[in-house]
Amino acid sequence: MLPVIVENVPLAPLTTLGLGGAARFFAEIAFAAEMTPALTWAKDKKLPVFTLGGGSNVVVADEGFAGLVLRLRTRGRRWCDDSGETRVEVEAGEAWDDVVAEAVAREAAGIECLSGIPGSTGAAPVQNIGAYGQEIASAIRRVRVLDRQCLDTHELDAGACGFGYRDSIFKREPERFAILSVTLALAKNGPPLVRYAELDAALAGRPGLANVREAVLALRRKKSMVLDEADPNRRSAGSFFTNPVVTAAAAGGLPEDMPRFPLPDGRVKLAAGWLIEHAGLAKGFRMGPVGISSRHALALVHHGGGTTKDLLRLALHVHQTVLDRFGVSLIPEPVFLGMVWPD
């Protein structure tokens, strides 16, 4: 059945940044079966389509989007315990953190470090959400997708999703698939992953998945990385840039006190937040209605009354300042709608 399609719907209230214009056409998808009729409708009209989840990782152009935005509200979590493994198939519209909370309550390990990440489950594989050394890619058994060209349903295993650091086939080829559901395979009564020293210190020896979840939430709250209405840094898209990955030779030329994380392929991941601060842009830096979070230099914040143009001006300023100081070109992390990042 074709969902109700409405015209000129402001997208800013549907994003955590609270910025950007309207969708020319917009529909809420309550049931996966509404996707095919909606995509067919857009195809007939030769309109581009964008699927929106929680809006926590998207930057919408001030001009809006001259196509159809489908906001996924599908619900359902189907759990199954099977010889030491807990599997769950989650519909795309479910809030991601509700899934983590239930997994932890069921003593199923594998996503506990991904606590407190805003957004929907269907959006989680797009950027391969990650925190404290854990990524959703390692818990994914399969992703059910609708091929937007052929309008048929497929199941992709983790290999077919082409996951990388904050990257996937869904991010690289946004026109190709719509994510319908995500199936996770978790370890029943498995141990939590405590790989980061910061998390280990926060746990102070307390064992178990529930304590890890609590510690991660507390750490994220301190960095304004949990949605909280009372937090002045709340209007952001999380990390605005990815942590840059450079060759060992390039990293060798950078300051010795810079945090660096060697990767298995010999390259080195740098801390973008550190680069921003040490390029001279302090936490709390303001450019009119937008600025750098006062809690974490990697998050750009909209303080109200601003435009996407203001945010982009700030982002380009941050990019240029880091490039001038360290010769490193930061790459934005959110998805852009109705515009492209000027390379």
Which residues are designated catalytic?
166, 239, 333
The rounded distance, in Å, linking the Cα atoms of 248 and 233 is: 34
Residue of the chain from 3, 93, 238, 306 that contacts ligand EPU (CB under 6 A):
238
Spell out, one character per residue from 166 to 185, where the chain touches ligand EPU: x when CB under 6 A holds, - when not.
x-------------------
Alpha-carbon distance values, 197 to 12, 193, 205, 230 (Å): 37, 11, 12, 29
The rounded distance, in Å, linking the Cα atoms of 270 and 325 is: 14
Alpha-carbon distance values, 87 to 81, 115, 179, 329 (Å): 6, 18, 18, 40
For residue 199, the minimal CB distance to ligand EPU (Å) is 8
- Let me know how long the chain is: 343
The dihedral through the CA atoms of 103, 105, 110, 114 has a sign that is positive
Residue 333 engages ligand EPU in binding (rule: CB under 6 A): yes
Tell me the one-letter amino acid at 63.
Answer: E
Of 15-23, 137-145, 150-158, 293-301, which segment contacts ligand EPU by CB under 6 A?
A: 293-301
Residue 20 engages ligand EPU in binding (rule: CB under 6 A): no
Residue 243 engages ligand EPU in binding (rule: CB under 6 A): yes
Complex with ligand EPU: residue 19 or 42, whichever CB lies closer: 19
Residue 239 engages ligand EPU in binding (rule: CB under 6 A): yes
Complex with ligand EPU: residue 96 or 132, whichever CB lies closer: 132
Complex with ligand EPU: residue 22 or 60, whichever CB lies closer: 60
Of 8-16, 87-95, 101-109, 238-246, which segment contacts ligand EPU by CB under 6 A?
A: 238-246
Residue 259 engages ligand EPU in binding (rule: CB under 6 A): yes
For residue 244, the minimal CB distance to ligand EPU (Å) is 10
Complex with ligand EPU: residue 57 or 86, whichever CB lies closer: 57
At residue 206, φ and ψ (nearest 5 deg) are -75, 125
The greatest distance separating any two alpha carbons of the chain, rounded to the nearest whole angstrom, comes to: 60
> Helix crossing, 96-105 with 209-222: angle to 10°?
150
- At residue 89's C-alpha, the angle toward residues 86 and 95, to 5°, is 110
The rounded distance, in Å, linking the Cα atoms of 150 and 102 is: 35
Residue of the chain from 103, 131, 178, 328 that contacts ligand EPU (CB under 6 A):
131
Site for ligand EPU, rule CB under 6 A = 131-132, 166, 198, 223, 225, 238-239, 242-243, 259, 271, 273-274, 277, 283, 296-298, 333
